[in-house]
Amino acid sequence: MTNYLKMPKKQQVIALLALGWSYRRIEAETGVHRETVAGYDPNRAPKPAKTFPGSDPSPPGATGEDRTADDSNPATTFAGSPANPAKTFPGSAPRRRFSAAVYRAAITEKLDAGLSLQRVWQDLVEEYGYGASYESVKRFVRTLTPTRRAVGVFHCAPGAEAQVDFFQGAPTLEPTTGEWRRPWVFRMTLGHSRHGYEEAVWDQKLATFLRLHERAFRDLGGVALVIRHDNLKAAVVRACFYDPDSHEVYLAFAAHWGFTPLPTRPRYPQENGKQERSGGYVKDNALKGRRFDSLDAQNAFLRHWNRTIARLRIHGTTRRQVWTHFVEAEQRALQPLAATAFPIFTSGARTVHADGHVEVDGSFYPVPLALLGQGVRVQWDAHLVRVFHTDTLVAVHAKVAAGLFAPRAGEAEASTRQQAYVDHLLGRCARVGPALRLWADAAILARGVRAIRLIQGVLSLTRRHPRERVLHAVAQAHTHQLFRYQLVRRLVEAAPAPSAPSLVADDPAIRPMTQYTLEDFLK
């Protein structure tokens, strides 16, 4: 019996039926069962009558065999009953089992490119006008035989490559919380001999990642030409399938130690296969089923296990003892160690504030005022802060505590914005004349910060009166200790006007008019 739907839902189902949607698609879209949807289909043919052995055949059209709807039900047959095949017409093709089968080539191509099924369905709808549901594509893909591809073998020359990765170690008691946690185990594996170095740590931060590299280099006695790694955040800041961006600090670390970092493609663990297999060997052989009371205990066990088991084994691929193979073939091919440890720093992009400073860890550092509003690169460590603009070093400052302003070059301490503005006003006074600078200094001593607006007002008088009258007035004001704007303005207005320069008629350089001839004027 057909369920009765409310009017909005009923109208929705009827509209989708008018669009030619299948019952299954309408069920997925509206949540109404297919049998209920069929009850509202005006074009739905009735179900065929059941036939039994020995019964007369049904009259033409009574069984509904001429229906063409996708969701029609065939007649039920029983043991011993004659076969009742579906009617076919000249030139008609057999009915497809999957609506997506016609797009088999396109679907296979997109799957080989690594696209998800959701993306494949979206592309079929957009590119081919595919009208069936996403579930229909999923059902068809389940029937496809997965494409098998041959995978090449990565052969490494001695000292040419090492692979690094993290994996979870054995449960370890953390002293700060008293809880059992699984630390991260760092593993570096040489690609040729399979000799490696492992160490357990609590985090995968950048500084930890770099110091683990250094300890591994010293334990192995050299550096490989290439370090292959996956896309962890300490090494890659922007993962990309073809052109990832490595971390700026990790690139500087690689240049210091003389190797090239090489990130693997996302979701391609076979590119880091030697490390993946060696990490699994450490987990299964060394750490599986064990617990440790501290991180130091786990690292001590790993060092002992490496010396007594890992390096003495016969490797399944090389068929040689790992340690002997390393000493005879690979140790000499490694690059020499760096003389000093890498000075770890932190970097980031900053925009120069309107006050000419950049913020680093809550502190403020001045840069040249010509860079106001522009982007700069900042590198800092525990002692120094370096500011770069287009690869040019523009400022170096000693690290200061959070909330403080670092002084500019040549200053003993950082100036506040008010003090910097006072210094600016006094410089303007000095450029007008020494008398104005002396009066301004005395005004600040007498009135403090209230003298700032007074000095601004006196400087504005130089725009309306000659400089000589202003200097004459402030000289009198300084003599009588007058530090009010109205008094200084009256002195300027009452000051005598500067006398016009007199012309000298007799001078040895001037020739008498009687010595000039007509030819002199015609020249």
- Examine the pLDDT at 348 and tell me if it is beyond 50: yes
Architecture of domain 161-333: 2-Layer Sandwich (3.30)
Q: Given this model, what pLDDT does residue 70 score? A: 47
Q: What is the pLDDT of residue 398?
A: 92
Least confident span in 4-18, 179-193, 216-230: 4-18
Tens digit of each residue's pLDDT (9 = 90 or more) over 106-125: 998 888 887 889 999 999 99
**What mean pLDDT do residues 231-259 have?**
88
Distance of alpha carbon 398 from alpha carbon 406, whole angstroms? 8
Instruction: Place 3 in a pLDDT band, splitting at 50, 70 and 90.
Output: low
Three-state DSSP class for residue 238: strand
Q: Please say if the pLDDT value at position 351 is more than 70.
A: yes
Alpha carbon 387 to chain centroid, angstroms: 21
Question: Alpha carbon of 370 to those of 38, 129, 165, 360: distances in Å?
Answer: 75, 57, 45, 20
- Residue 337's SS3 state is coil
**Structural tokens at position 290:** 């064990």
Rounded CA-CA distance 413/400 in Å is 11
pTM metric for this prediction: 0.56
Q: Could you read off the pLDDT of 504-513 as tens digits, one per residue?
A: 666 777 777 7
* Gap between the Cα atoms of 143 and 107, Å rounded: 12
Integer Cα distance of 209 and 234 in angstroms: 7
Q: Which of 372, 375, 392, 395 is nearest to 384 (CA)?
A: 395
- pLDDT over 60 at 92, yes or no: no
CA distance 408 to 401: 16
Quote the CA–CA distance of 208 and 404 in Å, as a whole number: 29
Neighbour-count burial of 350, counting CB atoms closer than 10 A to its CB (0-12 exposed, 13-18 middle, 19+ buried): middle
The residue with greater pLDDT, 448 or 358, is 358
Residue 185 CB-half CA count within 13 A: 30
CA angle 273, 277, 278 (to 5 degrees): 115
Query: Where do the H-state alpha helices sit in 187-272?
Result: 206-220, 248-257
Q: What is the three-class DSSP state of 340?
A: coil
Nearest alpha carbon to residue 228 among 192, 182, 200: 192
Is residue 368 pLDDT above 50, yes or no? Answer: yes
What are the structure tokens assigned to 447, written together? 């009135």
Question: Which segment of 104-113, 156-165, 285-294, 301-310 scores lowest on mean pLDDT?
Answer: 104-113
Residue 41: what pLDDT? Answer: 86
pLDDT value of residue 382 = 87
Match 């029983």 to its residue by tokens.
78
CA 257 to CA 214: how far, in whole Å?
Answer: 9
Structure confidence at residue 199 (pLDDT): 97
Closest CA to 201 of 184, 216, 213: 184
Average per-residue pLDDT in the chain? 85
Residue 60 has pLDDT above 60, yes or no: no
Please compute the mean of the pLDDT values over residues 393-412 and round it to a whole number.
Answer: 85
Q: Report the C-alpha gap between 45 and 68 in whole angstroms.
A: 9
* pLDDT for position 518: 67
Alpha-carbon distance of 165 to 277, in angstroms, equals 11
Q: Give per-residue burial for 501-522: e unless 16+ CB within 10 Å, then b.
A: eeeeeeeeeeeeeeeeeeeeee
Q: Is pLDDT at 340 greater than 70 in this prediction?
A: yes
Q: What is the pLDDT of residue 146?
A: 74
Interval 323-328 mean pLDDT:
96
Per-residue pLDDT tens digits for 371-384: 989 999 999 998 99
Among all chains, which residue has been given the structure tokens 């090492």? 162
| Residue 206, pLDDT score | 92
Angle, vertex CA 302, rays to CA 298 and CA 305, nearest 5: 135
Contacts of 220 (CB under 8 A, 6+ apart): 188, 190, 195, 197, 331, 334
CB atoms inside a 10 Å sphere around CB 443: 25
pLDDT at 337 (0 to 100): 96
Q: Rounded to 5 degrees, what are φ and ψ at 67?
A: -70, 150
d(Cα 182, Cα 167) in Å, to the nearest integer? 10
- Tell me the CA distances in angstroms from 492 to 462, 474, 479, one per residue in order: 10, 8, 15
Nearest alpha carbon to residue 272 among 355, 182, 154: 154
| Among 330, 193, 343, 313, CA closest to 253 | 343
Identify the band that residue 1 occupies on the pLDDT scale cut at 50, 70 and 90: very low
**For position 66, what pLDDT does the model report?**
44
pLDDT score recorded for residue 53:
61
pLDDT interval class at 55 (50, 70, 90): low
How confident is residue 87, by pLDDT bands cut at 50, 70 and 90? low
- DSSP state for residue 314 in the 8-state scheme: B
Query: Is 63's pLDDT higher than 60?
Result: no
358 pLDDT exceeds 90? yes
Element (H, E) at 360: strand 357-360
pLDDT at 79: 52
Residue 208 near residue 288 (C-beta atoms within 8 A)? no
Query: Does the pLDDT of residue 74 top 60, yes or no?
Result: no
Long-range contacts, 77-81 (Cβ 8 Å, 24+): 77/51, 78/51, 78/52, 78/53, 79/53, 80/53, 81/51, 81/52, 81/53
